[in-house]
Structure 1
Amino acid sequence: QQYAWGKIGSNSEVARLLASSDPLAQIAEDKPYAELWMGTHPRGDAKILDNRISQKTLSQWIAENQDSLGSKVKDTFNGNLPFLFKVLSVETPLSIQAHPNKELAEKLHLQAPQHYPDANHKPEMAIALTPFQGLCGFRPVEEIVTFLKTAAGNNMEDIFGELLLQLHQQYPGDIGCFAIYFLNLLTLKPGEAMFLEANVPHAYLKGGPWLCR
């Protein structure tokens, strides 16, 4: 997926993984490579390149090899793979999001399938491949109040002032830049992880995680 927030060309971990797995892949050095998907999502069904396998996509293979899911997963999720595995390569921050729970996801899918192509909820587990920075869940109220009081005194250097300026340069005039004072700011080292359950506001700011949702 070549979303605008992805790293450019071979600087992207996603692009390098794509090139290593597909000898025919050509990496454009002027285009972003944001996400590499491995799953059966309708917008990105994984392709099977092994000519010895008759099925051409992962969803086709699973449909004809239901036992591969195990009986519990097969019965619970109607024979479908219940997660999507992604690799992200983030150059500029993503929008602040909160994913619906299962009940709301099913309702939204029925109401607007063009915007919600599946009926699954989307809890996420993000594991850092490289140093990674993100926002996850609301800070304690006491922290938020402290930030507001400090900002009112124009003493921004001690409260992520450099990060705020960086976000403002990337998204001028966007009030979402101030989310760093309301949401927990996490910096993960490679191998560290964070879990995002349904309805938790979050945003990925910079770096490269594995993502399973």
Structure 2
Amino acid sequence: MHRLENDIRNYAWGSHRVLAEFGGRPSPTARPEAELWIGAHPSTPSRLVGADGTSSLADAIAADPHHHLGSALAAEYDGRLPFLFKVLAAEQPLSIQAHPSHAQAKAGFAAEEELGIPRDDPKRNYKDPFAKPEVFVAQTEAEVLCGFRRSAHAAHLLSRLGVATLAPYIGSLLAGRASDGFRVVVTTLLSMPEEKQSTLAAQVAAESARAATASDVNPDEARAYEWVARLHEAYPGDVGVVISLLMNLVTLAPGQAVYHGPGVPHAYLRGSGLEAQGNSDNTLRGGLTPKHVDVAELLKVLDFEPLTDPVITAQPVPGSPAMHWPTPAREFGLYECEVTDDPHVMSLTGPRIALCLEGTTHLASGDTQLELRRGESAYFAAAEPDATLTGAGRVAVIAAGQVRRAR
């Protein structure tokens, strides 16, 4: 068991307060702080704190993958930590994006390697051959675009705007299978000339601002229209503002979560939370961004099926005071526990990382003991004994390999 030192990513959409206050540092910060990265990602690995200083967690795992991951995970993930743990703080909206499946990532990475595209090329889609499923658990109220909404509801939102250009899109959404309708609409929107995209985005934003205040609009619809107007202010002329009306707009209370499996489009709009994800950089963007949008590749990856019930609530772990958010992801499992003076054994297989969310947590594993305060974290290799938790606070734990591998 080792204490970890972790790094922060500075992106324009981040917060000047949330991560600083979480880590007990002065705020507001000079630069926006967007993500605290905890794990062994090659670009920003955490550091193991020892008596002789610090060392890279990624290097330690590479030197002895069987000790750190266990034999099964070391073979399955090629000696790589399967998960990445983040604390995310969004004051401004992120891009609409989706992530590939393992098979898509493996094929896409191999194709781009064969073409000789540098891995740091901003137009490259696949930085590695791994999937990137993710679950986001709100720590404050948060708003997220997550998956496509019911097609009839999407058609209704568009029809209220009275924009003539949208008529064929509305027809597509109301005819045949919902996934086919969304595929036609999204393909058309992303493929039209930039000038037409800009004109349509401006029209939809203007009419959405009007529709948001109509006397017969319900609160959920008003919120969707308000976000269209706000997104157009942030990304003027971006057709992603139109696509946002096709997606579920979810307001999460603290403790509620959303899961983004392969191909599910999503965008974090505001709020802070924990994000557990596959240890990958593979992101295909679909709007609300000045970055490269590879329309053809995005359309191959997107899951156009409506996501009818996107919110996940925490479930109790049998025989334990811990809760978890069930997902089909094998790369990670995310847990949370209220820590008290009554000892609780963190009985999980594989590598684990504990992050103190509130108060103080005392960890004992074998002959090693650590005390974590809010914002501090610790790492456990697969070969190390289970940890016993005591204290007064709240701790989150991410672990790998808790979902059985498909045969």
Contact 1:42/1:117 (8 A) holds in 2: no
Q: Tell me which structure has the larger Cα radius of gyration.
A: 2
Mean CA deviation greater in 56-65 or 107-116: 107-116
Which structure would you say has the larger RCO, counting Cα contacts within 8 Å and 6 or more residues apart? 1
Please name the residue that 1:200 is paired with: 264
Kindly state the Cα deviation for residue 206 of structure 1 after the two structures are TM-superposed: 0.4
Please name the residue that 2:15 is paired with: 7
Q: What does the per-residue CA deviation read over 1:134-162, in whole Å, with 9 as the maximum and x for residues that have no partner?
A: 11111111111111111118561233332
Please name the residue that 2:58 is paired with: 59
SS in 2 for 1:142: helix
Whole-angstrom distance in 2 between the partners of 1:167 and 1:43:
30
Please name the residue that 1:29 is paired with: 29
Whole-angstrom distance in 1 between the partners of 2:51 and 2:238:
51
Kindly state the Cα deviation for residue 90 of structure 1 after the two structures are TM-superposed: 0.3
Q: What does the per-residue CA deviation read over 1:108-146, in whole Å, with 9 as the maximum and x for residues that have no partner?
A: 333143343322110111111111111111111111111
Please name the residue that 1:118 is paired with: 128
Q: CA RMSD in A?
A: 2.2
How many matched pairs?
204
TM-score, normalised to structure 1, is 0.86
Residues 198 and 130 of structure 1, relative CA distance in 2, 3 Å threshold:
same
Q: Which runs of 5+ in 2 are unaligned?
A: 1-8, 164-206, 278-407
SS in 2 for 1:207: strand
TM-score, normalised to structure 2, is 0.47
Please name the residue that 2:233 is paired with: 169
Please name the residue that 2:374 is paired with: none
SS in 1 for 2:143: strand
Whole-angstrom distance in 2 between the partners of 1:28 and 1:161:
31
Please name the residue that 1:210 is paired with: 274
Q: What does the per-residue CA deviation read over 1:98-117, in whole Å, with 9 as the maximum and x for residues that have no partner?
A: 11111221233331433433
After superposing on structure 2, the runs of 4+ consecutive aligned residues of structure 1 that deviate more than 4 Å are 25-28
Contact 1:45/1:57 (8 A) holds in 2: yes
Residues 28 and 132 of structure 1, relative CA distance in 2, 3 Å threshold:
closer
Please name the residue that 1:38 is paired with: 38
Whole-angstrom distance in 2 between the partners of 1:100 and 1:34:
23
Please name the residue that 2:211 is paired with: 156
Any residues of structure 2 matched to 1:77-156 within 5 Å, and which?
Answer: 77-110=77-110, 111=112, 112=117, 113-114=119-120, 115=124, 116-152=126-162, 156=211
Please name the residue that 2:250 is paired with: 186
Whole-angstrom distance in 2 between the partners of 1:148 and 1:28:
40
Whole-angstrom distance in 2 between the partners of 1:146 and 1:118:
40
Q: What does the per-residue CA deviation read over 1:6-55, in whole Å, with 9 as the maximum and x for residues that have no partner?
A: 112xx1x22334x44xxxx787722110011111111111122x232676
Kindly state the Cα deviation for residue 62 of structure 1 after the two structures are TM-superposed: 2.1
Kindly state the Cα deviation for residue 67 of structure 1 after the two structures are TM-superposed: 2.5
SS in 1 for 2:47: coil
Whole-angstrom distance in 2 between the partners of 1:179 and 1:14:
30
Whole-angstrom distance in 2 between the partners of 1:200 and 1:161:
22
Please name the residue that 1:74 is paired with: 74
SS in 1 for 2:136: strand
Kindly state the Cα deviation for residue 60 of structure 1 after the two structures are TM-superposed: 1.9
Mean CA deviation greater in 82-91 or 166-175: 166-175
Contact 2:38/2:86 (8 A) holds in 1: yes
Whole-angstrom distance in 1 between the partners of 2:271 and 2:92:
9
Whole-angstrom distance in 2 between the partners of 1:51 and 1:148:
58
Q: Which has the higher strand share?
A: 2
Whole-angstrom distance in 2 between the partners of 1:107 and 1:42:
21
Residues 6 and 188 of structure 1, relative CA distance in 2, 3 Å threshold:
same
Whole-angstrom distance in 1 between the partners of 2:101 and 2:27:
37
Kindly state the Cα deviation for residue 176 of structure 1 after the two structures are TM-superposed: 1.2
Please name the residue that 1:16 is paired with: 21
Give the counterpart letter for 1:91 in structure 2.
E
Kindly state the Cα deviation for residue 59 of structure 1 after the two structures are TM-superposed: 1.1
Whole-angstrom distance in 1 between the partners of 2:259 and 2:139:
15
Give the counterpart letter for 1:156 in structure 2.
A
